[in-house]
Amino acid sequence: MTRTNGHPFAIEDPDAAPSARTGLPVVVIGAGPVGLAAAAHLLDRGLEPLVLEAGSQVGANIAQWRHVRLFSPWCLALDPVSVRLLGQAGWTGPDPDALPTGADLLEHYLQPLAALPALASRIRLNTTVVAVARQDLDKVRSPGRDQLPFLVRVRDRDGRLADLQARAVLDASGTWTQPNPLGASGLPALGEPETASQIAYGLPDIGGRDRNRYAGRRTVVVGAGHSAATSLLALAELQRQAPGTEVGWAVRSATPRPLVGKGSAEADELPARGRLATDLAALVEAGRIELVSGFRIHRVEPAGDRVRLAGDQMLGDDVLQAQDLAVEADAVIAATGFRPDHAIAAELRLALEPGLESAAALGPLIDPNVHTCGTVPAHGIAELAHPEPGYVVVGMKSYGRAPTFLLATGYQQVRSVVAALAGDQAGAARRDQGPPAAALCARNRDLLASTQRPRQLLPSVPTATSGTTASLGGTAADWSAGTCCP
């Protein structure tokens, strides 16, 4: 028997007979920062994790944007339990105020963490989760549902399928592989799949691996978020180096507003992010970036060697007042955000917020129309739970389509979720006082101080060529002291 006590996890009753789930591992989907943190927390609680990663390495998604520097410093990029495990193994921590790149996150944190013997033996790479269900019960049947283990169907690198059993499933697979399309209606624009060779989704390495694709050519970046800003600044630097490089910027909104964060380093919770807005405004004002606002893309068409984005342009805020518009380019960067894929949970009972596709109770707390990543309140299992006991989405995917996620938030999520799974309801409900980021950063600052040695892994001020996205590094002292770490 089990008892729930009103809690979203079925908690084992020590006085009852063992359930069918006793002794099974907790499956964690994804070996990124939040997935590995979940595994560390499970081990810390005496529970058995099994991490399933579709890629050939831990942090496989991060490896695709390894050239990008984070907006938040190391003190917000680390999970405290993971830092403690690393410190016990002799790891030397980075400067808490430095802004890491994706490569830094991989090489100085995730790979050493995954190499710890306690974790290494519990990680399976090249293992794709294709479905999660209840053992022997479909979605409709209710009797005894929370007594049964989960069935996790996986595919290995050779395409072979197998079924695993789990006492709970934490989905930390993220959204990186599910970019939003160019089409204004949320669907791919007509012709978008056929012109995919001229469209890059996400964050291409404009100053490095992908330089030849953009140098001396006209590129249009579509999107108004931080990924768009990062690519635009990288293109502006390339424009300075390679004559003939032209940069266009297409955004759907027609209303003048801060297009990135809160518009400036002074107003933004993350000054490095705010500086993107300041720098972009200067480039647009100088005519180096051509901004087209109110542009709704309906079709993507070949135009000789180029590609044409065709649609209409809103006149002010009236969605019914628009004029036809077409923009041509040699290459397009779709920085239109990401969305979750819940297909693997089709046989589970989910309660999703209809607009964001997050857990229903979490939606109001992360709504990008109201919040930025710095104003999302602390939350945990109470907001993340679905009607299916024991299945929880954590990390970036938990936010659905909302772009307001921080790694710090993901680490706080897994702390609460794992506490609930261990039967610690008080720990699951605990909330830090004050801003969530401040508490995490202060905790990590203390832990990192205990790992410091004369020779640090990272310099206090990351060096970079002026004018590149990486030049935003080394600027975290004001942010971490004034906003993060009181």
- 13 has pLDDT over 80: no
Q: Say what the pLDDT of residue 309 is.
A: 98
**Strands in 4-149 per DSSP E:** 11-12, 26-29, 49-52, 123-124, 128-134
- In DSSP terms, 414 is beta-bridged to none
Q: Say what the pLDDT of residue 180 is.
A: 97
Q: Say what the pLDDT of residue 465 is.
A: 30
**Strands in 352-397 per DSSP E:** 391-393
- In DSSP terms, 352 is beta-bridged to 359
226-250 pLDDT per residue, tens: 889 899 999 999 999 999 999 999 9
Confidence of residue 473 (pLDDT cuts 50, 70, 90): very low
Confidence of residue 475 (pLDDT cuts 50, 70, 90): very low
Please report where in the chains the tokens 């831990």 appear, as a residue.
Answer: 58
Candidate from 1-15, 48-62, 143-157, 444-458 with smallest mean pLDDT: 1-15
- 52 has pLDDT over 90: yes
DSSP secondary structure code for residue 153 in this structure: E
Q: Which has the higher per-residue pLDDT, 272 or 55?
A: 55
332-346 pLDDT per residue, tens: 999 999 999 999 999
Measured CA to CA, the distance from residue 229 to residue 259 in angstroms comes to 9
Whether the CB-CB separation of 167 and 149 falls below 8 Å is answered with yes
Measured CA to CA, the distance from residue 332 to residue 87 in angstroms comes to 44
Report the percent of the chain where pLDDT is more than 70: 83
Q: Say what the pLDDT of residue 33 is.
A: 98
Whether the CB-CB separation of 479 and 272 falls below 8 Å is answered with yes
> How many helices (DSSP H) and strands (DSSP E) are in the chain?
16, 18
Q: Cβ contacts of residue 286 below 8 Å, gap of 6+?
A: none
Measured CA to CA, the distance from residue 411 to residue 170 in angstroms comes to 13
- 259 has pLDDT over 80: no
Reference 410, options 379, 375, 372, 385; nearest CA is 379
Please report where in the chains the tokens 């790992």 appear, as a residue.
Answer: 451
